[in-house]
Structure 1
Amino acid sequence: MNALYQALRLGFVAADAVVPKSWLPGLEPDALIAASGSNPGPDAREALRRLMASIMTESDLSVFGRISLHWDALRLLRNAQTVEAAHRASPALAQAPVSQPLFILGLPRSGTTFLHELMAQDSESLVPRNWQTIYPAPRPANFNPLNDKRVQAVDRQLRIFAGLAPGFSDLHPITADSPQECTEITAHVFQSLRFDATHRVPSYFAWLEAHGHLQAFRFHKQFLQFLQNGAPGRWVLKCPDHTFTLDAILQVYPDARFVIVHRDPIAVLASVARLTWVLRKPFLRKIDLAEIGAQVSERWIQGANLLLDFDQRADVAPERKIHVHYDELAGAPLAVIARIYARFGMPLRAEALAAMSRRIAAKPRGGYARHAPYSLENFKLSQSALQQRFVPYVRQYCRAGGV
């Protein structure tokens, strides 16, 4: 299997090639657990079983898709074991608080990644990094990613994936040391919405929605405690999918604070659909664009309504939330930063502001390339029909002048 992976990586074998079944790694949950040397709890075992059953019956995996899924499952199992073993060895990890974490959420493609990266320039902020979700470890003070072998390895992996998924780097420009989304943390217990982005998993998705996300976010807190290594900090966390996990977040982090980023849904849906298509291409042999369009539009109609509901929750005081509009963030990012810091009583130090300014100068628009708007029609979506279904959200958050 290692030889086949290397051949794929070097381009000698196409990602969607037909190869003998005996060459391919197995994906049976019990075999994966045994191969990883881990001992996940019953909740994670059941989630892994549900995920693999869904993928094997509902996704038509490419050769690369099968090999990468095998590698990914082993990695996640081993990483979770590492985190849980560290907690058993050092109970003090669980005693270190994760106080008032700041969650960035909202519609995808609305500037949440850009905002997360800007806030990560403040050395008083803690963010999970891409490499830390692949090779979990604390990030030391004065860390130099250029000299770290783990970072170098993840950057190589990102370059390989970009070659297999043309367009990915333009849609989601990241490096190994970039801030990572929380779905990569909850994936370690196989209860993550990220699997739906890369695979066709309707039965797993339905199971996860019914099961809920509480166990996943309990592990999420363990993961953050492991990364902060007894030295609590101010966590800044980001994922559009937080929109669908707010109940679990509030149970695990009852003092959480929230930045909600808004954008005209019609401006983002085609981009979300295209990113889903780009992400799935290396893993799947067959992709239905109309199905992706329907899935993405229904999901974010639901998400927009959940954001409206969240604004009315009595258990989240107004001072624990701030609304930001994409146009404001794109046009005057430092003014938005100043407003967020002021809202939550966080000192905005000159050093942090200077670091954010340098990042904006180095990566205008967050590093995203300018391009013509993506087409809704490619995904069999009707702009007029969508506009009708987003009316309540647009009236509340996308009126003239912003939120």
Structure 2
Amino acid sequence: MLRGIDRGADILGLFNQPLQVDLLAAEACRRVGAEDFGEWSFREPLAVLLQAYQEEAGLTAFGRVAARWDMLRFLCNLLRLRLEEKNTPKIVHEEVKQPIFLMGLPRSGTTFLHNLLAQDPANLAVRCWQAIYPYPLREQPSGEPDRRQRTVSRQFASFLRLAPELPSVHPLEADAAQECIEITGQVFRSLRFDTTHYVPSYERWLDQAGHHEAYRFHKRFLQHLQYQSGPGRWVLKSPDHIFAMNALLETYPDAQYVFVHRDPLEVLSSVARLTEILRQPFARRVDRMQIGQQVSSRWVQGARLLIKASKTLKALPARVLHLHYRSLVRDPLAAVTAIYSHFGLTLTPEAEGRARHFVAERPNGGYARNAYCLEDYGLNPQAEHRRFYDYITHFRIGSEGLANIDSRGRDVRRPTKAHETSNAGSSERSAFRV
């Protein structure tokens, strides 16, 4: 259906004009009835992104409409946030104390852990509907119930008709905890965009420009939400935080970190599949081989940065906890207990009960069983194992089912039962020293 719409739009010349920063900004101002975007320097990153959309992403007609909707939403949010700051200056003085950041390679169970920790009423998590609409919709009559969650639920349902395979690899719910890339995306400085689109020039620009501006905005966004909800302990998550570690440490000097580590060969196949599914509604053509090369290169870099971060944070052992994916999925509640114990937090009976209920309702973390093949994305398991070998050995990560491969990339037989027990023992302790 989308392909037919795309061909018809091309014939009629619809939606094929390049998106322009000035026109988008003017439209956002018209919609909100304001012109002050605040202190955020969004024009350059937005211009780079729009050029990449035009020249590299191969957007369909729907992709162009969706991109325009996204950009306008972000710009309208900037205007709205600034309006609220003018009306209530004390928003910017909200204290964000000791947030907990969940980090690791993508597809390592951090989304499940994020939503599990969000069951505790003492924890604050950015919900999907809050990330999309941080304030009630302006067209909503005063006194009516907040419509944001219901609106986002409808939007998600519409998108899932275009990407029906998504729930099997990444459940999408309006009230679920959202990744931080949706926050940093609102100042157009986020790796969110190179997941849903092929935009290599934007990715290069972002790597060079750095992330300090994005994380200043990230904190401001949390201040807005915290002013509305009241104080609490923020639990935040994104694999992409590892690419912005300096900005993260500077913005949140008292932050606490939970790193979850998983077999990178399983990670690569899973993230490649997710990337493919996310791009299909927006792009004329999705190149599996290109996706494979992109996710491998990006996350080899991410793995090196995870090693670097573990060494940097080694001087702060009370603020850092490392978990294995296998121990998390084997006993999620034990992982939660380990986190609370390590950081000196109280796990109340109510929080524990809600966590148990959440786990019981979501066998396998809420995901369907999927079989992904590295070779489908042009990746060789032995070669990838060699590329990730330092990460695997540094964090003592066992294989999850692919053939075991030695340091030279050779297939070897699975470990003996005694060896497996030894590995499991180190995992089930939930925390380990690096």
TM-score when scaled to structure 1?
Answer: 0.91
Answering whether residue 16 of structure 2 is matched by residue 17 of structure 1, we say no
2:27 is matched with 35
Amino acid corresponding to residue 296 of structure 1 in structure 2: V
1:103 is matched with 101
Q: What is the alpha-carbon distance in structure 1 between the residues aligned to residue 119 and residue 23 of structure 2?
A: 42
Q: Which deviations, in whole Å up to 9, do the C-alpha atoms of 1:192-226 show, x marking residues without a partner?
A: 10000111111111000110111111111111000
Shift of 1:21: 2.2
Once the two structures are superposed, the pairs formed by residues 282-297 of structure 1 within 5 Å of their partners are 282-297=281-296
User: Which of these residues, 68, 71, 74, is aligned with residue 69 of structure 2?
Assistant: 71
Q: What is the alpha-carbon distance in structure 2 between the residues aligned to residue 314 and residue 169 of structure 1?
A: 35
Q: What is the alpha-carbon distance in structure 1 between the residues aligned to residue 283 and residue 3 of structure 2?
A: 16
Q: Residues 171 and 367 of structure 2 are in contact (CA less than 8 Å); yes or no, is this contact kept in structure 1?
A: yes
Q: What is the alpha-carbon distance in structure 1 between the residues aligned to residue 147 and residue 102 of structure 2?
A: 30
How many residue pairs get matched? Answer: 384
Once the two structures are superposed, the pairs formed by residues 174-323 of structure 1 within 5 Å of their partners are 174-229=172-227, 231-313=230-312, 317-323=316-322
The 3-state SS of whatever aligns with 1:71 is: helix
Indicate the percent of aligned positions where both proteins have the same amino acid: 45
Amino acid corresponding to residue 285 of structure 2 in structure 1: K
The 3-state SS of whatever aligns with 1:85 is: helix
Q: What is the alpha-carbon distance in structure 2 between the residues aligned to residue 348 and residue 279 of structure 1?
A: 36
Q: Which deviations, in whole Å up to 9, do the C-alpha atoms of 1:237-287 show, x marking residues without a partner?
A: 011111111111111111111000000001121110010011011111012
User: Which of these residues, 88, 91, 97, is aligned with residue 90 of structure 1?
Assistant: 88
Q: Cα distance 1:12–1:319, how it changes in 2: closer, same or farther (>3 A)?
A: closer
Q: Which deviations, in whole Å up to 9, do the C-alpha atoms of 1:279-313 show, x marking residues without a partner?
A: 01111101211111000001111111101000111
2:401 is matched with none
2:141 is matched with none
Answering whether residue 336 of structure 2 is matched by residue 337 of structure 1, we say yes
Return 259-268 or 31-40, whichever deviates more: 31-40
Shift of 1:87: 2.0
Q: What is the alpha-carbon distance in structure 2 between the residues aligned to residue 340 and residue 106 of structure 1?
A: 15
1:54 is matched with 52
Q: What is the alpha-carbon distance in structure 1 between the residues aligned to residue 287 and residue 26 of structure 2?
A: 35
Once the two structures are superposed, the pairs formed by residues 366-377 of structure 1 within 5 Å of their partners are 366-371=365-370, 373-377=371-375
Amino acid corresponding to residue 114 of structure 1 in structure 2: F
Q: What is the alpha-carbon distance in structure 2 between the residues aligned to residue 288 and residue 209 of structure 1?
A: 23
Shift of 1:57: 0.9
Return 174-183 or 312-321, whichever deviates more: 312-321
Q: Residues 15 and 64 of structure 2 are in contact (CA less than 8 Å); yes or no, is this contact kept in structure 1?
A: no
Q: What is the alpha-carbon distance in structure 2 between the residues aligned to residue 279 and residue 302 of structure 1?
A: 22
Amino acid corresponding to residue 358 of structure 1 in structure 2: H
Q: Residues 36 and 82 of structure 2 are in contact (CA less than 8 Å); yes or no, is this contact kept in structure 1?
A: no
Shift of 1:319: 1.3
Q: Residues 2 and 281 of structure 2 are in contact (CA less than 8 Å); yes or no, is this contact kept in structure 1?
A: no
Q: What is the alpha-carbon distance in structure 1 between the residues aligned to residue 8 and residue 202 of structure 2?
A: 26
TM-score when scaled to structure 2?
Answer: 0.85
Shift of 1:136: 0.7
Q: Which deviations, in whole Å up to 9, do the C-alpha atoms of 1:27-65 show, x marking residues without a partner?
A: 111100001005445621111111101111111110110
Q: Which deviations, in whole Å up to 9, do the C-alpha atoms of 1:78-137 show, x marking residues without a partner?
A: 012211222232221111100111000101111000000000000000000000111113
Q: What is the alpha-carbon distance in structure 2 between the residues aligned to residue 80 and residue 244 of structure 1?
A: 24
Q: What is the alpha-carbon distance in structure 2 between the residues aligned to residue 232 and residue 94 of structure 1?
A: 14
Task: Name structure 2 gaps, 5 residues minimum.
Answer: 30-34, 137-144, 399-422
User: Which of these residues, 112, 117, 134, is aligned with residue 115 of structure 2?
Assistant: 117
Q: Residues 33 and 39 of structure 1 are in contact (CA less than 8 Å); yes or no, is this contact kept in structure 2?
A: no
Return 71-80 or 16-25, whichever deviates more: 16-25
Q: Cα distance 1:343–1:300, how it changes in 2: closer, same or farther (>3 A)?
A: same
Q: What is the alpha-carbon distance in structure 2 between the residues aligned to residue 315 and residue 91 of structure 1?
A: 38
Which protein, 1 or 2, shows the higher relative CO under an 8 Å CA cutoff with sep ≥ 6?
1
1:156 is matched with 154
1:384 is matched with 382
Q: What is the alpha-carbon distance in structure 2 between the residues aligned to residue 187 and residue 299 of structure 1?
A: 18
Shift of 1:14: 4.3
